[in-house]
């Protein structure tokens, strides 16, 4: 075998190994989409913090207005936040084996609206960093931007759009949840690609690589979460 | 894992030490890790290990498990960093590998500083720190309620799952999906019950519109440890400056 | 005997249900007593407590605190809630802050007590109730018995004049039960009127010196333990059982029964048996 | 006496805790008995049940079902869970579907019973347990006693050979408790081995014919009620209390005590007192 071929073979094996590794049912791989502490270069870490803070501030302002009128709602929001955390720690079945980390942001943004969800979602992320060591503090801005801002807003937009155009609630719920998940994954991949552009091909090539690796777990998860959310919605209506 | 971390944070040798000192120390360490080169980052990691395992006496097995699972993200991203797509075939990229190694050293140093904080500082004290750095009180109140009910709901979810499994549930993809959906719905109902109960309970205790936090308390750091920080950090910064002066190049 | 609190023909129906939870409930809580409020599940005990603290407002009828009708404005309610302390059945409903120490301060801070006083009173109650070893642990690390005692401490620290407890011993094992009852006795000795809802007739019999029996949202019997349980048929009709000690006492020879009041503790019963003629 | 299930030196520690929940637990559940498993909160009763149904896997030690060690593969676990039914303490956690009728079908459907059979068996158990009037009501409209009976029905419909109940009577009023115990006795009469965890010693004494005492994750005493409670000092040391009837019996004149086994019901005690020499 030529040296080059050998190298190529090793690489393919490596990629296959990692892919297999990520699909194996292990609770840790589930949180693969939380960018770890210290992973992003300093410029990007700061950039995503700056991008995230306005949404957070708007969300807090909105919550402040709501809770000033009815202080009990504060308790409700707190309990709902705990519920969201538990949801994100729940193992959900996926086609590739069961795995945790449904984001629950789709359901949440339909129920509470995307802005309140951006506050609850980012607090959930902070708890995940502090109580589970998933994600990190310097990368909280980036993670919150993708999971607590982009995901909920995309899910909510899709929900509104589908409700207006088709009126089919189940369909809208399915896509709201699945798109919230997918969009989170795409934004995270993009964040990584922008921070680490490939030598040849730049951001686009890098995006393909990061997106490709995480697609293995995230796309089936998005579909599962969509299905799950529809079921939950049905139960909630019948309850 | 969540219970383990939570328990350790309350029962380690440094748990009663001023959270502001601990968080400040870790914050400067992270900043230094971002500004420095691998040798200094390595020293930082070691130093944080000394504090977490040596001084705070966090059991090594939990620490290793946490460290390892956090590094999984790095392992997963490694192929994307280090492999190039060139003319339809895959190949190692030297500059990619170089970046990967750099990221690894930085991430390890930052991670060890973060683990130091989360393993040695009880949540209640972190709330105090959040308040000191100006997080809106509404957010802290929400966090307070969340933290209080998080474990309760996790426990409820765990018991419900066990009850379902005891009755033959959770077999096969379709059933798992259905059972999970039922679980979430029941959990939601339980959550709303908790909310109603809490609203009553707190009203009975005079809740009006704010949950007022206890004032800040915290034993200060012992003199030698404080000295260690105050000398150690500038020393590491000096090493970094010297490295840059010498034109340090990482051999990889 | 002065009533510290009085219910006069209270009616209350929960929205979404089709029968009254309280159906003209009239009763008096005599001051300075240890009161047990008995009744099966659903007899209206908890609903009554929620009225006693002004969380529910009766649809008709009148609630009086020390002979004064309760007005349901904010200031009156706040005053009432400082005078009446309610310990819920589920301590999770009333514990909010992270540690017992912090949580006990919560009510004091709501009552605008100055910080140094808060610290002093909190430390005092932690000391007297023997909670020092758990005072700085997060609430979710505590056992149920410990949580119940912390919830009680959070109420007692406000020095209420009337203490209400909803099924305080439910789910507790014997040791935790004894500790809790000891706390209640201490509070009572300091002048607090204590009233607990329970369906454990043995507990009511041995602990209380005044008993109210609720059934279907009404108060159907009241009196001292001896008076209440003398109405054996009535108790039986209500689906309640007699306290075991009382029932056993009733099987003793007539001569022995006439010797004394019905015994309210194992010790008293044993002493009574000591008078048995030896075979 | 054949053991239907046997625990051999089981060790188990929950992650994040620093002491064992089971510390070499060895015990046998004798077939066809009514077994009470006693112990204070935290003595390992619930953990033991979770092992008995294969939900926890011991870190060391061996669990045997009818003399055969349990393999922890999917098929064995499914088989075990059809033979052993577990009723959890809190029915809220166990009831999953919206109405009692639907909920009872849940386990049958998981066991792939054909639909017509499911309907038949569900209707049968609803009939025998007298749940017809509530079968179609939403679960959250039921009282606690009713919920407990529905949870029991959902387990009994699967015809288990061993029925485990975690604190079945906790927080029930007397009437609901009696109904539940009557159901258990019926199941027992049909050949089911019934084991309940409880810290109510009075209940254990009057209901069970075999008693196991757990303490700190070990089984420290086992035997018939008379044998177990004869070890008075031991029981006391463990922080448990003697059943009231037993304790009162011990205060009777020696001659009377020697007449019979300790009485396990009020009736038996009264009968015994009937032999008292009249003063």
Residue D214: C-alpha distances to residues C173, D23, D208, D218, D258 (Å) = 14, 11, 15, 6, 30
Task: Report how many Cβ contacts below 8 Å link chain B to chain D.
Answer: 59
Q: What is the mean pLDDT of chain A?
A: 82
Query: Is the separation of the CB atoms in C179 and C149 below 8 Å?
Result: yes
Quick one: B30 exposed, middle or buried, by C-beta within 10 A (0-12, 13-18, 19+)?
buried
CB atoms closer than 10 angstroms to residue A7 = 15
- Residue D262: pLDDT above 50? yes
pLDDT band at A97 (very low <50, low <70, confident <90, very high): low
- Residue A30: pLDDT above 50? no
CB atoms closer than 10 angstroms to residue B88 = 5
User: What is the mean predicted confidence (pLDDT) over A36-40?
Assistant: 91
Here the tokens at position B114 are: 């973060």
Is the CB of residue A195 less than 8 Å away from at least one CB of chain B? Answer: no
**Residue A10 confidence (pLDDT):** 60
Which chain A residues have a beta carbon less than 8 Å from that of B153?
82-83, 85-86
**Residue D279 confidence (pLDDT):** 46
In D, minimum Cα distance to B171 occurs at D110
Nearest to B197 among C93, C99, C101 (CB): C93
* Residues of B (87-106) whose Cβ lies below 8 Å from A: 89-93, 95-96, 99, 103, 106
User: What is the mean predicted confidence (pLDDT) over C235-254?
Assistant: 86
Q: What is the mean pLDDT of chain C?
A: 90
Query: Is the separation of the CB atoms in D60 and D7 below 8 Å?
Result: no
- Residue C117: pLDDT above 80? yes
Distance CA A147, CA A117 (A): 10
**Residue D84 confidence (pLDDT):** 95
Is the CB of residue B83 less than 8 Å away from at least one CB of chain A? Answer: yes
Is the CB of residue A157 less than 8 Å away from at least one CB of chain B? Answer: no
> Reduced to 3 states, what is the DSSP secondary structure of residue A42?
helix
Axis-axis angle for helices B137-166, B2-10 (nearest 10): 130
DSSP-derived letter for residue D126 is H
Pairing of strands C3-12, C60-65: antiparallel
* Residues of C (136-195) whose Cβ lies below 8 Å from B: 136-141, 154-155
- The pLDDT tens digits of the residues spanning D139-185 come to 888 888 889 999 999 999 999 999 999 999 887 888 888 889 999 99
Nearest to A131 among B5, B78, B207 (CB): B5
Axis-axis angle for helices B19-35, B38-49 (nearest 10): 160
Query: Is the separation of the CB atoms in D47 and D22 below 8 Å?
Result: yes
pLDDT band at A100 (very low <50, low <70, confident <90, very high): low
- Residue A28: pLDDT above 50? no
Is the CB of residue B48 less than 8 Å away from at least one CB of chain A? Answer: no
**Residue C153 confidence (pLDDT):** 94
Which chain B residues have a beta carbon less than 8 Å from that of C82?
206
User: What is the mean predicted confidence (pLDDT) over B223-247?
Assistant: 86
**Residue C279 confidence (pLDDT):** 46
Short-list D54, A148, A161, A229, CA closest to B162? D54
Distance CA B215, CA B181 (A): 42
Query: Is the separation of the CB atoms in C85 and C160 below 8 Å?
Result: yes
Residue C220 phi/psi, 5° resolution?
-100, -25
**Residue A1 confidence (pLDDT):** 45
User: What is the mean predicted confidence (pLDDT) over C214-225?
Assistant: 93
User: What is the mean predicted confidence (pLDDT) over C86-101?
Assistant: 91
Q: Which of A153-157, B119-123, C55-59, D168-172 has the lowest mean pLDDT?
A: D168-172
Percentage of chain D surpassing pLDDT 70? 99
Percentage of chain A surpassing pLDDT 70? 81
User: What is the mean predicted confidence (pLDDT) over C109-118?
Assistant: 89
How is chain C classified by DSSP, letter by letter? --EEEEEEEEEE--TT-SS-SEEEEEEEEETT-EEEEE--TTSSHHHHHHHHTTSS--SEEEEEETTEEPP-SHHHHHHHHHHEEEE-SSGGGT--SSSHHHHHHHHHHHTT--HHHHHHHHHHHHHHTT-GGGTTS-GGGS-HHHHHHHHHHHHHTT--SEEEEESTTTT--HHHHHHHHHHHHHHHHTT-EEEEEES-HHHHHHH-SEEEEEETTEEEEEE-HHHHHH-HHHHHHTT----HHHHHHHHS-HHHHHHSSPP-SHHHHHHHHTTSPP-
B197 to chain C, minimum CA–CA distance in Å? Answer: 5
- The pLDDT tens digits of the residues spanning B162-212 come to 999 998 888 888 888 888 888 888 888 888 888 899 888 888 888 777 787
- The residue written with tokens 């170089």 in the block is B98
- The pLDDT tens digits of the residues spanning D101-129 come to 999 999 999 888 999 999 999 999 999 88
Q: Which of the following CATH numbers is that of domain D29-42+82-241: 3.40.50.1820, 3.90.1170.40, 3.40.1000.10, 3.40.50.300? A: 3.40.50.300
CA-CA-CA-CA torsion for A53, A58, A59, A61, nearest 10 degrees?
A: 120
DSSP-derived letter for residue D12 is E
- Residue A235: pLDDT above 70? yes
**Residue B251 confidence (pLDDT):** 57
Helix (H), strand (E), coil (C) string for A66-130? HHHHCCHHHHHHHHHHHHHHHHHHCEECCCCCCEECCCCHHHHHHHHCHHHHHHHHHHHHHHHHH
- The pLDDT tens digits of the residues spanning D179-228 come to 899 999 999 999 999 999 998 899 999 999 999 999 999 999 999 999 99
Which chain C residues have a beta carbon less than 8 Å from that of B206?
78, 81-82, 107, 110-111
Pairing of strands C22-30, C3-12: antiparallel
Which chain D residues have a beta carbon less than 8 Å from that of C237?
none
Residue B40 phi/psi, 5° resolution?
-70, -40
**Residue C195 confidence (pLDDT):** 97
Domain residue extents for chain D: 29-42+82-241, 243-279
């Amino acid at each position: 075998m030529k040296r080059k071929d050998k190298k190529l073979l090793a690489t393919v094996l490596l990629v296959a190994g990692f892919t297999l590794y990520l699909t194996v049912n292990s609770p840790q791989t589930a949180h693969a989409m939380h960018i770890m502490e210290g992973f992003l270069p300093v410029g990007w870490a700061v950039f995503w913090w700056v991008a995230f803070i306005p949404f957070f501030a708007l969300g807090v302002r909105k919550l402040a207005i709501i809770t000033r009128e009815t202080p009990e709602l504060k308790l409700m929001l707190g309990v709902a936040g705990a519920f969201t955390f538990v949801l994100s720690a729940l193992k959900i079945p996926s086609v590739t084996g069961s795995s945790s980390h449904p984001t629950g942001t789709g359901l949440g943004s339909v129920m509470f609206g995307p802005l309140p969800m951006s506050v609850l979602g980012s607090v959930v992320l902070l708890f995940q960093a502090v109580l589970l060591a998933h994600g990190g503090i310097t990368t909280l801005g980036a993670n919150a931007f993708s999971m607590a801002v982009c995901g909920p807003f995309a899910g909510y937009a899709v929900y509104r759009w589908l409700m207006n155009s088709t009126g089919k609630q189940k369909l809208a719920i399915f896509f709201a949840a699945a798109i919230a998940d997918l969009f989170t994954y795409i934004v995270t991949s993009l964040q990584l690609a922008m921070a680490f552009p490939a030598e040849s091909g730049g951001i686009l090539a890098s995006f393909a690589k990061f997106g490709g690796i995480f697609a293995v777990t995230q796309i089936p998860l998005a579909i599962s979460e969509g299905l799950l959310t529809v079921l939950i919605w049905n139960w909630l209506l019948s309850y | 894992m969540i219970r383990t971390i939570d328990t350790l944070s309350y029962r380690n040798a440094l748990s009663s030490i001023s959270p502001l000192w601990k968080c400040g120390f870790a914050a400067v360490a992270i900043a230094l890790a971002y500004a420095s080169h691998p040798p200094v980052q390595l020293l930082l990691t070691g130093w944080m290990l000394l504090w977490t395992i040596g001084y705070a006496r966090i059991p090594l097995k939990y620490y290793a498990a946490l460290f390892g699972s956090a590094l999984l993200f790095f392992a997963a991203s490694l192929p994307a960093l280090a492999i190039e797509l060139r003319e339809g075939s895959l190949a190692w990229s030297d500059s990619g590998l170089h970046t990967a190694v750099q990221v690894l050293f930085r991430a390890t140093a930052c991670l060890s500083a973060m683990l130091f904080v989360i393993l040695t500082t009880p949540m209640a004290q972190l709330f105090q720190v959040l308040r000191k750095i100006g997080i809106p009180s509404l957010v802290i109140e929400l966090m307070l309620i969340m933290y209080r009910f998080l474990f309760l709901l996790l426990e409820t979810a765990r018991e419900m799952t066990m009850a379902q499994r005891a009755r033959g549930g959770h077999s096969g993809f379709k059933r798992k999906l259905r059972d999970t959906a039922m679980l979430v719905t029941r959990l939601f109902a339980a959550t709303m019950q908790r909310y109603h109960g809490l609203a009553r309970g707190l009203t009975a205790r005079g809740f009006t519109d704010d949950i007022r936090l206890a004032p800040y308390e915290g034993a200060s750091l012992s003199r030698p440890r404080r000295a260690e920080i105050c000398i150690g950090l500038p020393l590491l910064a000096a090493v970094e400056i010297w490295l840059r002066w010498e034109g340090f190049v990482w051999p990889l | 005997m002065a009533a510290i609190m009085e219910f006069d023909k209270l009616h209350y129906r929960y929205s979404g249900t089709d029968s009254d939870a309280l159906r003209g409930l009239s009763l008096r809580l005599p001051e300075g007593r240890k009161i047990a409020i008995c009744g099966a599940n659903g007899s209206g005990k908890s609903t009554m407590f929620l009225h006693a603290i002004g969380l529910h407002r009766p649809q008709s009828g009148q609630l009086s605190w020390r002979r004064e009708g309760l007005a349901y404005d904010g200031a009156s309610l706040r005053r009432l809630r400082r005078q009446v302390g309610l310990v819920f059945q589920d301590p999770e409903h009333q514990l909010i802050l992270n540690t017992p120490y912090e949580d006990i301060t919560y009510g004091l801070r709501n009552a605008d007590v100055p910080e140094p006083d808060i610290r002093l009173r909190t430390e005092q109650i932690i000391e007297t109730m023997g909670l020092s070893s758990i005072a700085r642990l997060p609430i979710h690390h505590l056992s149920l018995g410990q949580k119940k005692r912390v919830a009680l401490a959070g109420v007692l620290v406000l020095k209420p004049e009337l203490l209400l407890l909803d099924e305080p011993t439910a789910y507790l094992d014997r040791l935790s039960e004894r500790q809790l009852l000891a706390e209640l006795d201490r509070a009572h000795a300091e002048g607090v009127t204590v009233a607990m809802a329970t369906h454990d007739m043995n507990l009511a019999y041995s602990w209380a010196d005044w008993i109210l029996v609720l059934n279907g949202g009404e108060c159907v019997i009241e009196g001292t333990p001896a008076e209440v349980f003398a109405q054996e048929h009535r108790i039986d009709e209500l689906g309640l059982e007699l306290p075991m000690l009382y029932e056993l006492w009733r099987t003793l020879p007539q001569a022995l029964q006439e010797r004394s009041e019905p015994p309210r503790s194992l010790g008293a019963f044993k002493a009574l048996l000591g008078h048995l003629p030896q075979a």
